[in-house]
Amino acid sequence: MTPPRRRFSAIHAVVGWLLILVLAIANGGLRESLLIPSLGRAPATAVSGLMLMAAVMIVSTVLFRRHPPRNPAQGWQVGIGWLAGTVAFEFGMGRWMLGKPCSDLLAAYTFTDGNLWPLVLFTVLLAPPWLARRR
C-alpha cells in the first residue's frame, strides 16, 4: 500500500535539506575515517562525491513521491533554496566556526584531486526541478 500523497510545502523543503545536511556530514565522516585510509585521498574524494550525489537524488525522490510539488516552478524554488542553504552552510561553518580562510573554502569548488563538489552542488540545484517535472 502506498502512503497518501500530500502537497508540498516549505516545511518539506527544509526537512529535505536538513536530511541531506545530516547525510553529507555522515558522508564526510565516512570519507575521512574509512575511504581515505583504504583508497587514498583522490579516489576517496571522488567516491564520496558520488555517494553524496546519490543521497541527494534519493532524498529528493522520496520527498517528491510523498509530497509532490504543485508545479515545476516550485521544484526550481526548492533547488535554488537548497543550493543557497548549502553554500551558506559551507561558508558559515568553514569560515566563522572552523576559522578556515576563504581560499581553502573556494578550493573545494574546483575539480582537483578527485573533488566532485561542483557536481554535488549541481545535483542539489537540479534534482528538485527535474523530479518535479517528472511528477
pLDDT band at 5 (very low <50, low <70, confident <90, very high): low
Which tens digits make up the pLDDT trace of 67-90?
A: 888 888 999 999 999 999 999 999
Q: For the whole model, what pTM was predicted?
A: 0.89
pLDDT, tens only, 26-56: 999 999 999 999 999 999 999 999 999 999 9
In this prediction, residues 86-95 reach a mean pLDDT of 93
Cell numbers given for 72? 515545476
Alpha helices of the chain — where are they, by DSSP H?
A: 10-30, 36-39, 41-66, 72-91, 102-107, 117-134
The answer to whether 16 and 63 have CB atoms below 8 angstroms apart is: yes
